[in-house]
Amino acid sequence: MTRFFLGITGASGHAYADALLRALVAAGHEVDVSVTESGCKVLRHELGIDAGTRGEKLGAALPGWIGADAAKSVRAHPCDAVEAPPSSGTALVGGAILCPCSMGTLARVSAGFSSNLVERAADVALKEGRQLVLVPRETPLSEIHLENLLRLARLGAVVLPAMPGFYHHPESVDDLVRHVVGKILDRLGVKNSVGARWEGLGSIEGDPGVERGAR
């Protein structure tokens, strides 16, 4: 069992955070989770989950969100809880994931400026040489965004944009979400079968040349 940190920011795409949190717990891992103030607004708008204004209600919302049993494996922290375990390098974690990652959070992390627990946890991952996976969800990207992404990639972070593929013939939005979440789990070294894997070109229902089993 490994503990991971999941930081949820104000970028759109909270369905990715939802699926990732559920997948990590289902794989037998523990998760520390924190939501930024902007993230709380988006979480309420996109998923209907009330985490308060700074994540202070997230812990109480978890059982209704992911189920009572799954919630036992998750520790929720308000975004201003700089005293929380994830803020220290001595708190051993398997990695930190910012999903989705807003451009504002990205800019502050790239500059080493920690204004909340989410940014501090990312900073800790970088300074301790641990995995930091950033899942930006923005388009189009400005030159500033691209420079910040390049800087963090050079510092060792994994830049994994929320860009689902279509070669696996998705039939629902959930299929697109799982495509990205599966890639995140792979980079974290978490065994999973969240999305279909590439098996080469083949025939599906007699249609030659169709790509199948892909992620």
CA nearest 144: which of 114, 100, 99, 110? 110
pLDDT at 107 over 80: yes
Q: Which pLDDT score, from 0 to 100, does residue 205 have?
A: 55
Helix (H, G, I), strand (E, B) or coil at 27: coil
- The domains found in the chain, sorted by start residue, are 3-211 (3.40.50.1950)
Q: What share of the chain is helix, strand, coil (3-state, %, to 5)?
A: 40, 20, 40
Question: What does the pLDDT look like over 29-85, one tens digit per residue?
Answer: 999 999 999 999 999 999 999 999 999 999 999 999 999 999 999 999 999 999 999
Q: Which pLDDT score, from 0 to 100, does residue 204 have?
A: 52
Q: Which pLDDT score, from 0 to 100, does residue 197 have?
A: 80
**Beta-carbon count within 10 A of 163 CB:** 13
pLDDT at 19 over 70: yes
Q: Which pLDDT score, from 0 to 100, does residue 157 have?
A: 98
Q: Give yes or no for a contact between 50 and 57, defined as CB atoms under 8 angstroms apart.
A: yes
Mean pLDDT of 78-101: 95
- Kindly report the pTM of this predicted structure: 0.92
Mean pLDDT of 19-26: 98
- At residue 213 the predicted structure's pLDDT band, cuts being 50, 70 and 90, is very low
Mean pLDDT of 170-177: 94
Question: What does the pLDDT look like over 181-206, one tens digit per residue?
Answer: 999 999 999 999 887 788 787 655 55
Question: What does the pLDDT look like over 123-172, one tens digit per residue?
Answer: 999 999 999 999 999 999 999 999 999 999 999 999 999 999 888 889 99
Angle between helices 37-47 and 14-26 (to 10 degrees): 90
Looking up tokens 């923005």 gives 138
